[in-house]
Amino acid sequence: MRLEVIVLAAGEGTRMQSSIPKVLHVVGGRPLLEHVLNVASDLSPDTLNVVIGHGGAEVKARIEAPDVAWVDQAERKGTGHAVIQAMDNVDPSATVLVLYGDVPLIEKTTLEQCIAAASDGIGIVTVEMSDPKGLGRILRGADGRISAIIEEQDATEQQRTIKEVNTGILAASNATLAPLLASIETHNSQGEYYLTDVISLAASSGTQVTGVNAICPEEVQGINDHIQLAAVERDFQRREAERLMVSGVTLADPARLDLRGTLTAGRDCFIDINVVIEGTVAIGDNVSIGPGCVVTDSELADGVVVEAHSVVEGAIVGSRCRLGPFARVRPGTELAEGARIGNFVETKKAIIGAGTKANHLAYLGDSTIGAECNIGAGTVTCNYDGVDKNETHIGDGVFVGTNSTLVAPLTIDEGAYVAAGSTITSKVDSEDLAVGRARQRNIQGWVPPTKRK
């Protein structure tokens, strides 16, 4: 049977006190809606419909989802009304799964169980909450079957003591759902079309309603304000930390890792406290990342060590390289096996050969540097002439002395030496020693200003 998903993402989210559409607020470095679309896509639906309203143009521009059918809810008259807007796109033979764009942690397993329950009527996801304030309660008949869902503002005091609540997530065949949606009325305190009314209508007509228990309350937590957003962020980080540890990664403190993207890791890796992973990051076996590091959209091969407070962005780092502490490796950097980028060294669009080391206080930009070179402290590649970026090419086995200024465009051939304190503006041939210093003068009898009086 066809599966079609409807994601409700039209709400303004007034309690967020933000000009940003609610579903574009971020958990784990990605918009809430993106999390929901990812898990929905894992179900391999035939169609993925997203109902948008407030800030719809901004939502469409931000979410890269070419397979999504966008549905505009011009007037927002409740969740039932939102689903009705998308039903015209749904194949008559399909099973329909309704999700919410502000519930980012829903699990694929739970959704599969809900879809399976729809084969007998309607499947809905429920959860037991210790504090169900503000949520719709699940009503059951004497036989224990679900008979209705009552919103809190419409519930009696007795009904408000019920701990089992509705998550809003449901599945049903189009043939079952469409006539129920057509029967919804607005006789409630909000004057809206409640999707939850489908359940009481189904029960009264003899349609079976099957509850599917969520794995945990955190899985189905919706987000209505920044307090809930922060709580879901912590839940997401805890889940991702556990996933990494199960795969063999050692975390110094799981509560002090922030994953804002995706991380794939090999065996026997260690990640210290307060590390931030952004974008798409892949690390090999035996990689160690020290405290306070930020790694973004990079690949770290086997045996790489990133020491404390280093920033690595858009880089490809070869095996057994060592970075930091306090190194900044910027986009376009490629480090071959065993290269060393030390404290307060910055690289940008630098291709650095095997075994080459820049141990302290250097800037290497728009550069190609060969193998087994030594880049002394204070070395700067002057790549920008005020108009264009220019390149520096350094061959294998070059020794660059401390406090050297390499003015690009420049070529230094293999085996050459640059004397400490030199400014180099023209090509250095293989095995040559380049000296670019001003002549020293010692002035005898000079009196410092403090002694001139």
Residue recorded with tokens 């087994």: 372
Residue 426, number of CB atoms within 10 A of its CB = 9
Rounded to whole angstroms, what are the CA distances from 159 to 152, 162, 189, 348? Answer: 8, 6, 16, 63
**Best CA proximity match to 317, nearest among 360, 282, 368:** 282
The yes-or-no answer on residue 360 being catalytic is yes
Q: Rounded to the nearest 10 degrees, what angle do helices 174-182 and 79-87 cross at?
A: 130
Give the active site residue among 35, 309, 360, 393. 360
Contact between 150 and 159 (Cβ < 8 Å): yes
Find all residues with CB under 8 Å of 35, minimum gap 6, and list them: 27, 28, 104, 105
Catalytic residues: 360
